[in-house]
């Protein structure tokens, strides 16, 4: 899978946003973040998802600890709405990962930031000193 490059806006040139544990009840105004790739909304109070409020650029999304994850067909709805999503709630979107054989045959750029677990636990040693990866600008959703 080729991931499009994003030309980020000066107002939000980042690709990582963690809003875990903030008592957020609904997701809104994220479409103004067209280069957002990593979004952590875990441990909030989100009951209903408005999937049209999520930027299409998301690669990793964490909604664990929200009651919306208990909705029938939740995983399928989210993965259908976000075509580039590779990881949902710490679980890979298996059908979007390239097999080892395909990966060896591919000369595409690797994304090492996707190789480890996506954790949002406060005090998690995996997040101590975490800095979002520096990468070239990415083109925004079309």
Residue 37 has pLDDT above 50, yes or no: yes
51 token code pair: 């999937």
Mean pLDDT of 59-88: 96
Q: What is the pLDDT of residue 95?
A: 86
Q: What is the pLDDT of residues 76-87, one digit of tens each?
A: 999 999 999 999
Q: Which domains does the chain have, with CATH numbers?
A: 15-92 (3.80.10.10)
Q: What is the pLDDT of residues 87-138, one digit of tens each?
A: 999 999 988 876 555 555 554 455 555 555 555 444 544 445 555 555 555 5
115 vs 25, more confident: 25
Mean pLDDT of 62-89: 96
Selection from 31, 76, 77 nearest residue 56 by Cα: 31
Q: Cα angle vertex 134, ends 130, 138, to 5°?
A: 125
Q: What is the pLDDT of residues 5-21, one digit of tens each?
A: 454 555 556 699 999 99
User: Across the beta sheet with 16-18, what order do the strands follow?
Assistant: 16-18, 38-40, 60-62, 87-88, 91-92
User: Could you give the C-alpha distances from 127 to 18, 24, 113, 121, 131, in angstroms and in order?
Assistant: 11, 22, 12, 8, 9
């Amino acid at each position: 899978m080729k991931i499009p490059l994003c030309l980020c806006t000066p107002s939000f040139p980042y690709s990582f946003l963690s809003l875990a544990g903030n008592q957020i009840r609904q997701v809104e105004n994220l479409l103004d973040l067209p280069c957002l790739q990593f979004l952590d909304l875990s441990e909030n109070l989100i009951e209903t998802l408005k999937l049209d409020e999520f930027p299409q650029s998301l690669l990793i999304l964490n909604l664990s600890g929200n009651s919306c994850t208990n909705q029938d067909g939740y995983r399928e709805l989210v993965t259908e709405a976000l075509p580039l999503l590779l990881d949902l709630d710490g679980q890979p979107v298996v059908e979007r990962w390239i097999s080892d054989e395909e990966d060896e045959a591919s000369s595409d750029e690797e994304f090492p930031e996707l190789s480890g677990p996506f954790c949002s636990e406060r005090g998690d040693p995996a997040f101590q000193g975490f800095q979002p990866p520096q990468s070239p600008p990415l083109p925004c959703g079309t």
